[in-house]
Amino acid sequence: MLQNPACGCRAPVLPSRFLGTSPRQIPMDANFHSTSFLGADQQRVLITGGLGQLGVGLANFLRKRFGKDNVILSDIRKPPEHVFLSGPFIYSDILDYKNLREIVVNNRITWLFHYSALLSAVGEANVSLARAVNITGLHNVLDVAAEHGLRLFVPSTIGAFGPTSPRNPTPDLCIQRPRTIYGVSKVHAELMGEVSIVRQVQIFHEAVKNGRFECNLKPDTRLPMMYIDDCLRATLEVMEAPAESLSMRTYNINAMSFTPAELAQEVLKHVPEFQVTYSVDPVRQAIADSWPMNFDDSNARKDWGWKHDIDLPELVTTMLNFHGSENRVAQAN
């Protein structure tokens, strides 16, 4: 279950986030960065699709680094009041190339985080719109970034892999044959530039609130995961990495990999009465079985010093503490 970061709470999400792969070798002198790079204290940041899964959390994170007024959140939807008041927010339609150029020029943008996309379920229901947003929109962003010498970050997804991809571990470069328009568009994005994404689970909320959880996957289904703070830090670190240290444009990043049964065992250490039942959804199980079980992120660790901070025990403690305090506030109210 995906939670909207626009809820007003600190983003207590459990993501699996990946800088995806490309099936062809990238030249050793490949470069994310513009040669007109400014000092870190001078960055002007634009985030497209800012009301989606990661945008609000990323904006808050970057504003602590670069200042509130230097990080602009954008979307085509009206933001909640607390988001609007937290820092600059503007309307931006990535399919409107002229509007995108005006935003970059008028606000002296130097870094662009492109999060606008239609995800799997919505994309499959409207393939033509998904092609427009995920591919044409990407091309507009790439053209603007090239024209104005921007550093550009484009997230990919675990859905960019398919059943023929190696699953344990999944290297940076391998076969990718996704089965959804979202996955196909993200492979296209990887081949055009650079890439990551987030997924989260509801188990912690249910453990604190109800003491039980029904899982729709088999207990031994292994998937890679990452805590949101590690995800946001990795996003900033790869953007700030020296261009000469990057040997490729597309990186995996990994933190932990576990099964529902392993997660439930860790939760039981904190909530002894917790109960898990399994009601396998064949559709979700088939999707999970086509995804990587673990990612080989040795290139990211070697090239730009990537290292995650949060493992499964720390993750469970943090998430249960958050949802416990959230539940107590709700009861008080």
Domains and CATH numbers, the chain: 117-207+225-255+294-311 (3.40.50.720)
Over residues 223-266, the pLDDT tens digits come to 888 888 898 899 889 888 998 998 988 888 889 999 999 999 99
Closest-CA residue to 124 (of 75, 177, 176, 185): 185
Per-residue confidence at 327, pLDDT binned at 50, 70, 90? low
Query: Whose CA is closest to 5, among 68, 13, 232, 15?
Result: 13
Query: What is the pLDDT confidence band of residue 193, given thresholds at 50, 70 and 90?
Result: low
Please give the full DSSP string across 160-208, using - where no structure is assigned.
G--TTS--SSBPSS-----SSHHHHHHHHHHHHS--------SHHHHHH
Query: For residue 204, what pLDDT is reported?
Result: 74
- Biggest CA-to-CA distance, the chain: 58
pLDDT at 325: 54
pTM across the whole model:
0.62
Asked if the model's pLDDT at residue 123 lies above 50, the reply is yes
Residues with active-site annotation: 182
What is the average pLDDT across 111-128?
82
Could you tell me which residues come within 8 angstroms of residue 95 by beta carbon, excluding any fewer than 6 positions away? 132, 133, 136, 137, 140
For residue 149, the surrounding DSSP H or E stretch is none
Residue type, 249: R
**Which whole number is the average pLDDT over 301-316?**
93
Is pLDDT larger for residue 207 or for residue 67?
67
Measured between alpha carbons, how far is 333 from 159 in angstroms, rounded to an integer? 40
* Burial degree of 32 (CB within 10 A; 0-12, 13-18, 19+): middle
DSSP summary character for residue 69: G
Query: What does the pLDDT read at residue 177?
Result: 78
Determine the pLDDT at residue 36.
41
| 3-state secondary structure at position 215 | strand
Segment 4-63, tens digit of pLDDT: 333 333 332 323 333 322 222 333 343 444 434 445 457 999 999 999 878 999 999 999
Residue 147, pLDDT > 90, answer no
pLDDT value at residue 30:
37
Of the listed ranges 70-74, 122-126, 136-140, 247-251, the least confidently predicted one is 122-126
